[in-house]
């Protein structure tokens, strides 16, 4: 069973400390990099989330309510999903897709004012783009240049 919980360092850190290869690091930050960046910025607007499979950490992403989202939307009540990854040993088993399908409920339950989820995905990242589409995210033609090239900007009203 796949579930989403707020990241707890003492319970989840080792489980999300998997390495991503160079190819995948073009498209996302590792959990450790994302956590370090949140810590370095003393960022209260970014919430690290652990993806659990049968209560064991299998993946990670960040719900970021900070200003970076305004590169994608003008909506103050939105949240940016970033730094999504699934442990490479567990990829391709439906975990990423199931997690993205559950984000809406998680956000609705924990952040009552939030009414939209936005994200940016590299145009070469076929599997990620595919799961976002399957999870109901819409791409309506907006792009931007990201750290590894053009990205589709996607959104979902919740
Ligand atoms: C992207 C990522 C999170 C997906 O997680 P996952 O658990 O492996 O994904 P799932 O198994 O749920 O789904 C993969 C889907 O992509 C599809 N897919 C795989 N390769 C594909 C390709 N080349 N083109 C199109 N679809 C592809 C699979 O068919 C599957 O879809 P389906 O279930 O409808 O058949 C994971 O691969 C990852 O951590 N990648 C590295 C980091 C990354 O790119 N993060 C996203 C940043 S935006």
Nearest CA to ligand 1 atom 16: 127
For ligand 1, atom 13, name the residue with the nearest CA: 94
- Sheet with 56-64, side-by-side order of all strands: 2-6, 46-53, 56-64, 78-86, 116-122, 149-157, 138-146
> 101 is written with which tokens?
């399908």
- Count helices and strands in the chain by DSSP H and E runs: 5, 7
CA distance 151 to 147: 9
pLDDT at position 43 = 79
- Looking at residue 91, its pLDDT comes to 98
Profile the chain (158 residues) by mean pLDDT over runs of 10 residues: 97 98 96 95 92 98 97 97 98 98 97 98 97 97 96 97
Atom of ligand 1 nearest to the CA of 27: 44
Measured from the Cα of 128, ligand 1's closest atom is 1
Inter-residue contact 28 to 39 (CB < 8 Å): no
The closest of 89, 128, 107, 88 to 49, measured between CA atoms, is 107
């Amino acid at each position: 069973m796949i579930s989403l919980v707020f990241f707890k360092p003492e319970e989840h850190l080792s489980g999300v400390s998997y390495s991503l290869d160079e190819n995948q690091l073009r498209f996302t930050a590792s959990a450790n990099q994302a956590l370090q960046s949140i810590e370095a910025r003393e960022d209260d607007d970014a919430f690290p989330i652990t993806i659990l499979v049968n209560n064991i950490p299998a993946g990670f992403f960040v719900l970021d309510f900070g200003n970076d989202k305004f590169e994608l939307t003008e909506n103050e009540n939105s949240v940016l999903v970033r730094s999504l990854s699934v442990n490479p040993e567990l990829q391709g088993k439906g975990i990423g897709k199931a997690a993205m399908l559950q984000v809406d409920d998680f956000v609705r339950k924990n952040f009552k004012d939030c009414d939209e989820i936005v994200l940016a995905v590299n145009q070469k990242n076929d599997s990620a783009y595919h799961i976002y589409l399957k999870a109901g995210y819409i791409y309506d033609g907006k792009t931007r240049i990201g750290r590894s090239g053009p990205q589709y900007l996607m959104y979902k009203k919740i």
